[in-house]
Amino acid sequence: MPSSFLSDLPNEALVGYTYVGTITSDTTTNGTGVDMQLTDGPISAVIAVGNYGDASTTLAVTLTESDTSGGSYTAISGTQTKSYAASATANDNSAAVIKADKRSKRWVRAELTTAGGGTPSVPVAVVLMGRKKLVGGAGYQL
């Protein structure tokens, strides 16, 4: 079984939301930094998008990292970006997962970029999760 396998999500994973809200302009919106210090291995972000409401809006979600919660965030090397094309209905009420294999810093947040020139009103939630570090023998967690 790979080390990133989670058979008991409530007890084996660290879970934290980085963004929950509605994006209402063409801009880059930064989520809240989540302290991932107690995780080991890859982390994932679950992205949920509600009713898009505008056929011209695009959305891209990227994971960024920093040494401190209020520091300078940079894209996590090798991480996927989830891109939503402009569509009135194709992206409505959808979910996706992106993964960061090579995180090297303590704090992680989502960066959401919208464009298209329309009148966006995109409800989005991004939740981060990673496997808790194990210390000592099997079953001992921080």
Q: What is the pLDDT of residues 107-140, one digit of tens each?
A: 999 999 999 877 888 899 999 999 998 776 555 4
pLDDT at res. 142 = 52
> In the 8-state DSSP scheme, what is residue 17?
E
Closest by Cα among 107, 122, 26 to 65:
107
Q: Is there a contact between 132 and 51 (Cβ–Cβ < 8 Å)?
A: no
Can you give the pTM of this predicted structure?
0.86
Please compute the mean of the pLDDT values over residues 1-25 and round it to a whole number.
78
Interatomic CA distance for residues 32 and 51, integer angstroms: 23
**By three-state DSSP, how is residue 11 classified?**
helix
Please give the residue that has the higher pLDDT: either 104 or 10: 104
Compute φ and ψ for 94, nearest 5 degrees: -120, 165
**Between 32 and 41, residue with greater pLDDT:** 32
Between 63 and 121, the more confident residue is 63
